[in-house]
Amino acid sequence: MTQLRYKIQAYLGREVSLQDDVEIEKNENGVETINEWITTDKAKPTTEQLDALESEAKSLEDNSIVRGQRREEYGSLIDQIEYITENGLDAWQTKVQEIKTKYPKESE
């Protein structure tokens, strides 16, 4: 089951701040619920509204995982600059494309 934050992100149509937009809590069974709805963009969604966004939320969650995998392979900014300095920009762009092919995102 998709994390609640991604369902809320799909509902709002933007990134969600767990400090400024919504407070989520997990019960003893690991079930997430909205504890407090802070944002004023839209009214607090119903469970049914959020459940209807499961597919879109799953894509958002999967793409978030892919971005993390890519970041790990890219290395730190210092590592990236060092690679470009030692191997050239064309080599870096080739490496980036290889990483993107290895970890493809779902369509957004």
User: What per-residue confidence (pLDDT) applies to 79?
Assistant: 96
Averaged pLDDT for residues 73-91:
97
Is this prediction's pTM over 0.75?
Answer: yes
Alpha-helix residue ranges (DSSP H) falling in 2-108? 4-12, 47-51, 54-74, 77-87, 89-102
First CA to last CA distance, the chain: 20
Beta bridge partners of 23: 36
Q: Report which DSSP code applies to 42.
A: S
Q: What is the per-residue pLDDT across 55-79, written as a single tens digit (0 to 9) for each?
A: 999 999 999 999 999 999 999 999 9
User: What per-residue confidence (pLDDT) applies to 34?
Assistant: 96
User: What per-residue confidence (pLDDT) applies to 108?
Assistant: 57
CA distance 32 to 70: 28
